[in-house]
Amino acid sequence: MSTLTFEIKVPTTVDTVTIELPYYCSDGITLYAIMAENRVISVNDWQRIEQANIWLLNEVPNQIRHIDIKPITRAEFVEVYNRVQTKIAELI
């Protein structure tokens, strides 16, 4: 199993965190699936403003280095991902 290590910067301290890949997390707005250092899937479903996005990123975004990032399950990520895919497919 591969891992990815990065620093989380807090105003007065710096913690080092090692995560096992794949890693699923959310900042409460965006959900991330970190598959490798250069492969990240980001998904949003803003139902209130009827906007949904799926991004394939080639680097780990800075947002996951914030202290408010929380781990989520793969199932939680896939649920939102599938919901967004369905919304997009309905428009095509």
Report field, pTM of the whole predicted structure over 0.85 = no
Listed by start position, the domains of the chain span 23-91
What does the pLDDT read at residue 79?
A: 97
Whether omega before 22 lies within 30 degrees of 0, making that bond cis, reads yes
pLDDT digits (tens, 9 = 90+) for 5-64: 888 876 676 778 888 999 999 999 999 999 999 999 999 999 888 899 999 999 999 888
